[in-house]
């Protein structure tokens, strides 16, 4: 009888206000928050607890019974208890036979136990149907109603019907269930809330390391060198001048690093003559964090734009401008407009503006809400073709700006090259190799390899 009603619910979850009773084991933070939300959504809730005394923290309208009594009242039992206490469930095996047990538990560390908590629960109670769900939703989010960030609820389990029943409850609570398959996926689901920006670690550490290196490099050449040899105290360069040198350099290098792994992958595939061999681990990991590298590069480019826009407000800049005007007045001579310089300055600004525009476009298309709305070809066009165009424009922007210094001996303070020269090494290398790769004699075999052709097929008939 109970089974039938749950099936009807599965077909029409929102058509009736009469819902099946749900039992929650544990009157802790999560049990109470979930119970409250369920009562709001029209589910009668009964708690199974070690103490049947009703405290004022328990949601009004909920019953509190012993575990065995509460379990008898519902087909679904949510176990809102830490894994280390699961042993107390073993004596209840008979009462729990055939029931759907929802494991919502999390651990304190990644892969803390050899098996997931849900699999452990299933081993303790083989007669019950265990479903993993709700562990990525916090008690705070349930209570405060700010569920937007955690609207997705990952669900997995071996019993399809049990999983459906849990997914219907998830929907009724206003959340979105995401079926992750069998209970084997539980370990992965339990690890989600414990991960700390997994794809961001390498890009962030790399950016911090490179930023620190370039900052110190500029400090040595622009502040310390000038102080020692020219007796000028330019320590205030630390606030805007140096950051405005480091930011564009970082943006350019990181953008090039987005495309460099693709170049390595192409060279490896050409060398091996097949795409059916795994790339080295470091390359796989690098490929997976290209989006993050690109977004950090965009952040640096945006900072460069802001720093550049405030340049006219700087005291040092107004002093330098007025010094030039006064010296012209004292000499009673107006310097003629240098057409070459005007061209250089306008060209590098135009290249920078166009490069930044494409950079922003790349950033926008990498947002899931946008990338989900374009097809694979459109996504590749923006990320690959327009991405390379952004890299070409940004490299040209730097070349036009810094090019005049590259050949001047005064640019080599302490025999060290200017920071802009350093910033061009990786982007130029990427662009040159990419240029070689698009030659038909290289591009043709590469395309064939990517379509499955092998130079030395192992399984030839
Ligand atoms: P909690 O506030 O410590 O509550 C746990 C409850 O377990 C207690 O209130 C108690 O309920 C019961 N319990 C404690 N010791 C027990 C024992 N020896 N035998 C039987 N029952 C015992 O913890 P919580 O924050 O609600 O978390 C409960 C579970 O939800 C955990 O597995 C946690 O990982 C998971 N979770 C929590 C959150 C969250 O935001 N808090 C989010 C996702 C998942 P009674 O006194 O009623 O027996």
Torsional sign, CA 260, 262, 268, 273: negative
Kindly state if the Cβ of 117 falls inside 6 Å of ligand 1: no
Residue 10 pLDDT greater than 70, yes or no: no
Instruction: Look at the chain and count its residues.
Output: 461
Query: In the predicted model, what is the mean pLDDT of residues 303-308?
Result: 96
User: How many structural domains is the chain composed of?
Assistant: 2
Same domain for 186 and 274?
no
Whether residue 1 is contained in a domain is answered as no
What pLDDT sits at residue 309? Answer: 95
Q: Which pLDDT tens digit goes with each residue over 315-329? A: 999 999 999 999 989
Q: Which of 12-16, 95-99, 167-171, 390-394 has the lowest mean pLDDT?
A: 12-16
How many Å lie between the centroid of ligand 1 and the Cα of residue 48? 12
Residue 8 pLDDT greater than 80, yes or no: no
Query: In the predicted model, what is the mean pLDDT of residues 276-290?
Result: 93
Same domain for 167 and 210?
no
Predicted model pTM: 0.74
How many Å lie between the centroid of ligand 1 and the Cα of residue 269? 52
Please list, in sequence order, all residues whose beta carbon lies within 8 angstroms of the beta carbon of residue 353, skipping any fewer than 6 positions away.
none
How many Å lie between the centroid of ligand 1 and the Cα of residue 446? 56
Query: In the predicted model, what is the mean pLDDT of residues 327-334?
Result: 89
Residue 156 pLDDT greater than 80, yes or no: yes
Q: Residue 442 has which token pair?
A: 């290289």
Domain boundary among 154, 171, 194: 194
What pLDDT sits at residue 141? Answer: 86
Same domain for 188 and 245?
no
Q: With 0-12 CB in 10 A as exposed, 13-18 as middle and 19+ as buried, what is 146? A: exposed
Which one has a higher pLDDT value, 4 or 196? 196
Q: 67-81, 221-235, 375-389 — which one is most confidently predicted on average?
A: 67-81
How many Å lie between the centroid of ligand 1 and the Cα of residue 82? 5
Q: Please give the mean pLDDT across all residues of the chain.
A: 90
Q: In which element (H, E) is residue 371 found?
A: helix 368-371
Same domain for 414 and 286?
yes
Which one has a higher pLDDT value, 456 or 254? 254
How many Å lie between the centroid of ligand 1 and the Cα of residue 19? 25
What pLDDT sits at residue 157? Answer: 97
Identify which of 23, 29, 45 to mutate to test ligand 1's pocket (most ligand atoms within 8 A of the CB).
29
Answer whether 394's CB lies under 8 Å from 252's CB: yes
Q: Which pLDDT tens digit goes with each residue over 259-270? A: 999 999 999 999
Distances (CA, A) of 449 to 266, 283, 380, 384, 435: 10, 18, 19, 19, 19
Q: Coil, helix or strand for 102?
A: strand
Kindly state if the Cβ of 29 falls inside 6 Å of ligand 1: yes
Kindly state if the Cβ of 192 falls inside 6 Å of ligand 1: no
DSSP calls for 18-87: ----EEEE--SHHHHHHHHHHHHTT--EEEE-S--PPPTTSPTT-EEE-HHHHHHT-SEEEE-S-GGGGG
Same domain for 365 and 274?
yes
What pLDDT sits at residue 149? Answer: 53
Same domain for 314 and 430?
yes
Identify which of 54, 81, 139, 186 to mutate to test ligand 1's pocket (most ligand atoms within 8 A of the CB).
81
What pLDDT sits at residue 147? Answer: 58
Kindly state if the Cβ of 81 falls inside 6 Å of ligand 1: yes
Whether residue 8 is contained in a domain is answered as no
Identify which of 48, 71, 80, 106 to mutate to test ligand 1's pocket (most ligand atoms within 8 A of the CB).
80
Whether residue 37 is contained in a domain is answered as yes
Whether residue 360 is contained in a domain is answered as yes
What pLDDT sits at residue 413? Answer: 83
Which one has a higher pLDDT value, 304 or 411? 304
Same domain for 299 and 388?
yes
Q: Which atom of ligand 1 is nearest to the CA of 138?
A: 40
What pLDDT sits at residue 261? Answer: 96
Query: In the predicted model, what is the mean pLDDT of residues 286-301?
Result: 95
Q: Which atom of ligand 1 is nearest to the CA of 33?
A: 26
Q: In which element (H, E) is residue 436 found?
A: helix 419-437
Kindly state if the Cβ of 189 falls inside 6 Å of ligand 1: no
Per-residue exposure over 118-139, b if at least 16 CB sit within 10 Å of its own CB, e if not: bbbbbebbeebbbbbbbbbbbb
Kindly state if the Cβ of 107 falls inside 6 Å of ligand 1: no
Same domain for 139 and 222?
no
What pLDDT sits at residue 300? Answer: 98
How many Å lie between the centroid of ligand 1 and the Cα of residue 164? 25
Q: What is the CATH number of the domain that holds 50?
A: 3.40.50.720
Same domain for 143 and 283?
no
What pLDDT sits at residue 1? Answer: 36
Residue 14 pLDDT greater than 70, yes or no: no
Whether residue 184 is contained in a domain is answered as yes
Q: Which pLDDT tens digit goes with each residue over 163-193? A: 999 999 999 998 999 999 999 999 999 999 8
Domain boundary among 194, 221, 241: 194
Same domain for 270 and 208?
yes
What residue owns the CA closest to ligand 1's atom 8? 28
What pLDDT sits at residue 461? Answer: 47
Same domain for 232 and 348?
yes
| Angstrom distance (rounded) from CA 455 to CA 459 | 12
Q: Which atom of ligand 1 is nearest to the CA of 136?
A: 43
| Angstrom distance (rounded) from CA 34 to CA 41 | 11
Whether residue 131 is contained in a domain is answered as yes
Domain boundary among 172, 194, 216: 194
Q: Which pLDDT tens digit goes with each residue over 357-406? A: 999 999 998 888 888 788 888 888 888 899 999 999 999 999 998 777 77
Query: In the predicted model, what is the mean pLDDT of residues 22-50?
Result: 95
Residue 197 pLDDT greater than 90, yes or no: no
What pLDDT sits at residue 11? Answer: 43
Whether residue 285 is contained in a domain is answered as yes
Of the chain, the percentage scoring pLDDT greater than 70 comes to 94
Whether residue 70 is contained in a domain is answered as yes
Q: Which of 82-91, 300-309, 335-344, 422-431 has the lowest mean pLDDT?
A: 335-344
| Angstrom distance (rounded) from CA 174 to CA 455 | 54
End-to-end CA distance of the chain: 59
Which one has a higher pLDDT value, 359 or 11? 359
Q: Which of 343, 317, 357 is nearest to 403 (CA)?
A: 343
Query: In the predicted model, what is the mean pLDDT of residues 89-101?
Result: 97
What pLDDT sits at residue 16? Answer: 52
Question: What is the side-by-side strand order in the sheet with 63-65?
Answer: 63-65, 45-48, 22-25, 76-79, 100-103, 129-132, 152-157, 176-179
Kindly state if the Cβ of 139 falls inside 6 Å of ligand 1: yes
How many Å lie between the centroid of ligand 1 and the Cα of residue 385? 52
Same domain for 208 and 162?
no
52 is in which domain, residue-wise?
Answer: 22-194
Identify which of 28, 37, 91 to mutate to test ligand 1's pocket (most ligand atoms within 8 A of the CB).
28
């Amino acid at each position: 009888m109970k089974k039938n009603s749950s099936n009807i619910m599965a077909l029409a979850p929102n058509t009736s206000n009469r819902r099946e009773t749900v039992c929650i084991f544990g009157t802790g933070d999560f049990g109470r928050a979930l119970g409250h939300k369920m009562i709001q959504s029209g589910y009668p809730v009964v708690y199974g607890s070690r103490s049947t005394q009703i405290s004022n923290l328990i949601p009004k309208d909920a019953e509190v019974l012993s575990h065995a009594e509460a379990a008898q009242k519902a087909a679904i039992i949510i176990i809102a208890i830490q894994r280390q206490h699961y042993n107390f469930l073993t004596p209840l095996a008979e009462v729990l036979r055939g029931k759907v047990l929802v494991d919502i538990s999390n651990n304190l560390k990644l892969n803390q136990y050899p098996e997931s908590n849900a699999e452990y629960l299933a081993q303790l109670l083989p007669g019950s149907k265990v479903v993993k769900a709700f562990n990525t939703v916090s008690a705070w989010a349930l209570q405060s109603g700010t569920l937007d960030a955690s609207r997705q609820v990952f669900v997995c389990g071996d019993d399809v019907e049990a999983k459906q029943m849990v997914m219907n409850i998830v929907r009724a609570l206003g959340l979105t269930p995401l079926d992750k398959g069998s209970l084997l996926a539980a370990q992965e689901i339990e690890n989600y809330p414990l991960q700390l920006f997994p794809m961001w670690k390498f890009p962030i550490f790399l950016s911090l390391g490179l930023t620190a290196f370039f900052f110190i490099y500029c400090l040595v050449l622009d502040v310390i060198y000038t102080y020692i040899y020219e007796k000028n105290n330019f320590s205030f360069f630390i606030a805007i001048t140096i950051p405005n040198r480091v930011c564009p350099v970082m943006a350019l290098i990181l953008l090039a690093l987005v495309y460099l792994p693709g170049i390595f992958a192409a060279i490896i595939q050409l060398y091996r003559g097949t795409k059916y061999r795994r790339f080295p681990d470091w390359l796989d990991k690098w490929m997976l964090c290209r989006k993050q590298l690109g977004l950090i590069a965009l952040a640096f480019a945006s900072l460069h734009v802001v720093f550049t826009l405030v340049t006219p407000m700087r005291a040092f800049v107004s002093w330098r401008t007025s010094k030039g005007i006064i010296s012209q007045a004292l000499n009673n001579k107006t310097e003629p407009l240098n057409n070459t310089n005007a061209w250089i300055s306008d060209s590098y600004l135009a290249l920078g503006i166009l490069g930044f525009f494409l950079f922003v476009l790349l950033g926008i298309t990498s947002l899931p809400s946008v990338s989900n709305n374009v097809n694979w070809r459109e996504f590749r066009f923006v990320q690959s073709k327009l991405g390379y165009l952004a890299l070409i424009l940004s490299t040209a922007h730097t070349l036009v700006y810094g090019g005049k210094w590259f050949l001047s001996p005064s640019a080599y303070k302490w025999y060290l090259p200017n920071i802009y020269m350093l910033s061009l090494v990786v982007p130029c290398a990427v662009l040159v190799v990419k240029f070689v790769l698009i030659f038909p004699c290289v591009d043709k075999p590469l395309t064939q390899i990517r379509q499955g052709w092998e130079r030395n097929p192992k399984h030839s008939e």
